[in-house]
Amino acid sequence: MSALLSFPDGFRALVIGASGGIGQALISQLRIHPRCSALYAASRGGLAPDGVTGFALDLTRPETIAPAIAGVVAEGPLHLVITATGILHDSTGGGPEKSFRQIRADHMMEVFAINTIGPALLARAVLPHLALGTQSAPEKAVFAALSARVGSISDNRSGGWHSYRASKAGLNQILKTCAIELARRAPHAVCIGLHPGTVDTALSRPFQANVPRSKLFVPAHSAARLLDVIDTIDADRTGRVFDWSGAEIAP
Ligand SMILES: NC(=O)c1ccc[n+]([C@@H]2O[C@H](COP(=O)([O-])OP(=O)(O)OC[C@H]3O[C@@H](n4cnc5c(N)ncnc54)[C@H](OP(=O)(O)O)[C@@H]3O)[C@@H](O)[C@H]2O)c1
């Protein structure tokens, strides 16, 4: 279990995308964490395990976001917010492009709505309510969104997956921009992107055939490593993207 000692004892956490493979694993670990005093789980279904407050939110319906987050922050400021939402296939089953010839506006719009615009709207709703502590005793607060290594423009060597790659590159830019603004008001706050590794979830399942078993993480392993990374990142590295090992991913 990640120690999460960089957060105050009794920290308050929220996971959005709590129904997903990685989101569920994050909830499982935070739910039994001795330092976490309040845990909220957002998903489209709104369900949550015992001891966790669940609520419903759909990123493709922006009007559902602000009221849902308002209900959570009314109970107290948040120290840890992790956005574990995202899609690779759209709701019609359309998958990532193999060539620019396959680019479709409807697929790209849905992928951007959920992977880029959704987390941006969450940031708008959540960032003003991150815990700050006091001037003499500042507290660490983190807004982390699950991004992907393929969102790196400089690391793109194979082409394909235009919508997903671009949606994550856009997400990374949103996170960087929010981090700059957040630092002015909250010098101890952190706003970062995270690459979870290749993880055995519904999202990656159609593409696991060529992944060596040793490189395919179970969600619990990825979640534990991501919490370790979150624990080590301070405000001096806000705005960047890190992988599950803590290595920075180039923009
Ligand atoms: N798995 C990997 O190998 C891998 C690699 C790199 C990056 N990532 C990133 O990690 C994140 C989590 O992925 P995962 O592997 O855990 O995928 P997953 O199991 O498919 O979970 C995706 C989550 O996104 C939620 N979601 C989808 N559309 C939504 C919407 N309109 N509004 C609210 N929530 C919505 C899903 O909720 P529902 O249950 O309601 O559908 C689910 O909770 C994603 O950002 C993904 O891009 C994953």
Mean pLDDT over the full length of the chain: 96
Phi first, then psi, for residue 220 (nearest 5°) are -65, -40
Mean local confidence (pLDDT), 136-147 = 95
Whole-angstrom distance, CA of residue 72 vs CA of residue 68: 7
Instruction: Identify the pLDDT of residue 1.
Output: 81
Whole-angstrom distance, CA of residue 35 vs CA of residue 11: 6
| Beta-sheet pairing, 189-195 with 241-243 | parallel
- Domain boundaries in the chain? 11-243
Q: Which residues pair with 159 in a beta bridge?
A: none
Whole-angstrom distance, CA of residue 35 vs CA of residue 165: 36
Distance 72 CA to ligand 1 centre (A): 21
3-class SS string, 126-185: HHHHECCECCCCECCEEEEEECCHHHCCCCCCCCCCHHHHHHHHHHHHHHHHHHHHHHHH
Residue closest to 27 by CA, chosen among 124, 9, 38, 202:
38
Q: Name the residue of 22, 164, 218 whose CB sits within 8 Å of the most ligand 1 atoms, as the mutation to test its pocket.
A: 22
151-202 pLDDT, tens digit each: 999 999 999 999 999 999 999 999 999 999 999 999 999 999 999 999 999 9
Instruction: Identify the pLDDT of residue 95.
Output: 95
Confidence band (pLDDT; 50, 70, 90) for 127? very high
* Residue 113 confidence (pLDDT) above 90: yes
* Residue 134 confidence (pLDDT) above 90: no
Distance 201 CA to ligand 1 centre (A): 9
User: What's the CATH architecture for 11-243?
Assistant: 3-Layer(aba) Sandwich (3.40)
pTM of the model: 0.98
The amino acid present at 71, given as its one-letter code, is G
192-229 pLDDT, tens digit each: 999 999 999 999 999 998 899 889 999 999 999 999 99
In this structure, the residues whose C-beta lies within 6 A of any atom of ligand 1 are: 17, 19-23, 43-45, 58-60, 84-87, 114, 146, 148, 195-196, 198-199, 201-204
Q: Which atom of ligand 1 is nearest to the CA of 197?
A: 5
Residue whose CA is at the smallest distance from ligand 1 atom 46:
86
Residue 142 burial (C-beta neighbours within 10 Å; 0-12, 13-18, 19+): buried
Q: Name the residue of 15, 116, 146 whose CB sits within 8 Å of the most ligand 1 atoms, as the mutation to test its pocket.
A: 146
Distance 138 CA to ligand 1 centre (A): 32
Mean local confidence (pLDDT), 227-233 = 98
Cα first-last separation, the chain: 30
Q: What angle do CA 239, 243, 244 make, to 5 degrees?
A: 125
Instruction: Identify the pLDDT of residue 125.
Output: 97
Q: Which atom of ligand 1 is nearest to the CA of 219?
A: 16
3-class SS string, 71-127: HHHCCCCECEEEECCCCCCCCCCCCCCCCHHHCCHHHHHHHHHHHHHHHHHHHHHHH
Distance 124 CA to ligand 1 centre (A): 20
Instruction: Identify the pLDDT of residue 101.
Output: 98
* Residue 240 confidence (pLDDT) above 90: yes
Distance 71 CA to ligand 1 centre (A): 23
Instruction: Identify the pLDDT of residue 56.
Output: 96
Other Cβ atoms closer than 10 A to 29: 18
Distance 133 CA to ligand 1 centre (A): 31
Mean local confidence (pLDDT), 223-238 = 98
52-110 pLDDT, tens digit each: 999 999 999 999 999 999 999 999 999 999 999 999 999 999 999 999 999 999 999 99
Percentage, residues of the chain above pLDDT 70: 100
Whole-angstrom distance, CA of residue 95 vs CA of residue 76: 40
Distance 86 CA to ligand 1 centre (A): 4
